[in-house]
Structure 1
Amino acid sequence: MTATSRPLAATPIAGGSRIIGTGHHRPERVMTNHDLEQLVETSDEWIRQRTGIEERHIAADGEDVADLAAPAARAALADAGLDPAEITQVIVATCSNHERSPSVAGRVAQMLGLSDPAAFDVGAACSGFEHALAVADMSLRTGASRATLVIGAEKLSAVTDYTDRTTCILTADGAGAMVMVPSEEPTISPVVWGSVTELADAVTIGGEGPAFAQQGRQVLGWALREAPTISRRIVEAAGLTMEDIDVFVPHQANLRMIEPLAAALDLREDAIVADDIITSGNTSAATIPLAISRMREAGRIPSGATALLIGFGGGFSWAGQVVRLP
């Protein structure tokens, strides 16, 4: 065997990747705070004061994670104006799928009638979408994919204990999706990611039944103490400053966490801060793409806006990047 100095990539390497479409899906059923008052000792006022949430969407018993992800993917493809047959990779970020195999991505590919795409799930809970976005960017840059569907989808209601008022007021179901293709110039910054090993058990989902649990004070403390510094690192990795950020989209965990985090970053006065948590609740890996799609649909985000994304939670994993939105 002899060594060779020839390049090991027959496919041209792209300069970067870009997002060309977004989409989302929320289940039909709306659960208000008043509905929760019938299930657990709580009140609309208590929930609003502590979380900012007014209502959330809950999937039907017969709906699973793929049933939420597929319509979000279809909406993103329609927004991108891309034929599903062009998709060569599907990545789904989720932590609530009831099946170990097949993956949600495999189910979605089947439901969309895609032709033999690479299809796999990413399990990093609340930062899963940002991890998936990074993998998609790397795949497109290296020629491993020509067009990628990246989806965050959760059915957290299936793992929620509706006798625990500290968690059931937060969780919800939904999905958000993006279509990505290669680009001559980078419009997705290098990912900044990591984990906090001493907080690995701060957010957990057990193996059976309603098993979502979290140590809320630990998560809040970390977010207020560390997330601002990490957010600045993400912006620096993109070669930008906070003055360049048009939209800030943190994980929609709790409005009382989002507001002080945004304030700590010294964003421009006209910068938009995502607050989809108010009517969508906490959908873990789905919160960021769901928020972006809904804000774009409502006309809240101008075309070409520069957005700072940061997700954190279960694992305890965190990840983020700066992206240019379509």
Structure 2
Amino acid sequence: MTGSRIVALGHYQPSRVVTNDELAELVDTNDAWIRDRVGIVTRRIADTETVSDMAAAAAEKALANAGLTADDIDLVVVATCTAIDRSPNVACRVAARLGIVAPGAYDINTACSGFSYALGTVDHAVRAGAARNAIVIGAEKLSDVTNWTDRSTCIIFGDGAGAAVVSATGDNEPSGIGPVVWGSAPERGDAVRIEGWRPYIEQEGQSVFRWATTALAPLALQACERAGVDPGDIAAFVPHQANARIIDGIAKRLGMPNAIVAKDIVESGNTSAASVPLALSKLVERREIPSGAPVLLFGFGGGLTYAGQVIRCP
């Protein structure tokens, strides 16, 4: 069995920026209240772009950054909870758009933890010899399921995509993706919902906040333990960008004094499965994390589900 590593990243966001002041024209809210409650200043909203469009754009950038071509890819996995069409899946549409021939292609839906779930399954596939080079994507168009008259949810969500190229490691090269820690609390699944044929996203914000800030830090530390990395050596912590207060609460409990904490929530809002790869790609693009440094990824949300792993920065 071989290991796997992330060799490159890419991301895509729509050009339309929606400010808090613009939302204040739709619902009873204001910029100061939104910043204080969730830490968001702006979010990107797609107009004509689909989930597949954004996923393909992020994947194309990651592929270019990896120095690989479509012919090198044999597996495409997309994490999303907002794809409108049931078939063909987003992964197949991305493969067609990029000209990838005959890859394994599937979508995965664990909502906001989706990217870490997808990355875990791809790591397993590479270790088992079922794939050599893969593209893992988190992509969401949450504006399609947002009720723009509900001030408790419309202030939170945004659209976008992030992607990673994952390749097998060499014979003498250590794995760059640590064991995944994943699980769920299905008895609390109603806390975040996108239900029905023409759904709106709904959530029990206080319930999710309490769960996230009390239950998740020990699970994130398990990912460090399984990877054999001391929390004090983590160079960056990239959690799901749910809410700035949740991010701060988890980070405080982790005891990672040297870690950069991703806060893409400020400019991008909550982009569900896209949030972890989107935030990670930006940190790497800005060269804020040294190549090879250990980074803790941790997603959590609808289901309620969670997943995380330690990766080595490409």
Return the TM-score normalized by structure 1. Answer: 0.94
1:16-57 CA deviation, whole Å, 9 max, x = no partner?
A: 101100000000100010110111111000100001100000
Q: Is 1:294 equivalent to 2:264 in the alignment?
A: no
**Greater gyration radius:** 1
Q: Which moved more, 1:294-303 or 1:47-56?
A: 294-303
Q: Is 1:139 equivalent to 2:139 in the alignment?
A: no
Q: Distance in 2 between matches of 1:79 and 1:275?
A: 23
- 2:310 corresponds in structure 1 to 322
- 1:226 corresponds in structure 2 to 215
Identity %: 52
Q: Is 1:250 equivalent to 2:239 in the alignment?
A: yes
8 Å CA contact 1:21, 1:76 repeated in 2: yes
8 Å CA contact 1:66, 1:107 repeated in 2: yes
What secondary structure is seen at the aligned counterpart in 2 of 1:303? coil
**Residue type of the partner of 1:199?**
R
Q: Is 1:70 equivalent to 2:60 in the alignment?
A: no
Q: Distance in 1 between matches of 2:88 and 2:186?
A: 29
1:47-100 CA deviation, whole Å, 9 max, x = no partner?
A: 00001100000001x211001001100110111111121100000000000001
| RMSD (CA atoms) | 0.9
In structure 1, the gaps of 5 or more residues are: 1-12
- 1:10 corresponds in structure 2 to none
Q: Distance in 1 between matches of 2:280 and 2:262?
A: 8
Number of aligned positions between the proteins = 311
1:101-156 CA deviation, whole Å, 9 max, x = no partner?
A: 11100110011111111111001000010000001101111110110000000000
1:130-189 CA deviation, whole Å, 9 max, x = no partner?
A: 000001101111110110000000000000001111111011000000001101322111
8 Å CA contact 1:306, 1:325 repeated in 2: yes
Q: Is 1:162 equivalent to 2:145 in the alignment?
A: no
1:198-213 superposed matches below 5 A: 198-213=187-202
Q: Distance in 2 between matches of 1:26 and 1:73?
A: 12
What secondary structure is seen at the aligned counterpart in 1 of 2:303? helix
**Residue type of the partner of 1:218?**
S
Q: Of 142, 158, 162, which aligns to 1:172? A: 158
Q: Distance in 2 between matches of 1:150 and 1:324?
A: 16
Deviation at 1:210, TM superposition (A): 4.5
8 Å CA contact 1:158, 1:209 repeated in 2: no
Deviation at 1:207, TM superposition (A): 2.6
- 1:5 corresponds in structure 2 to none
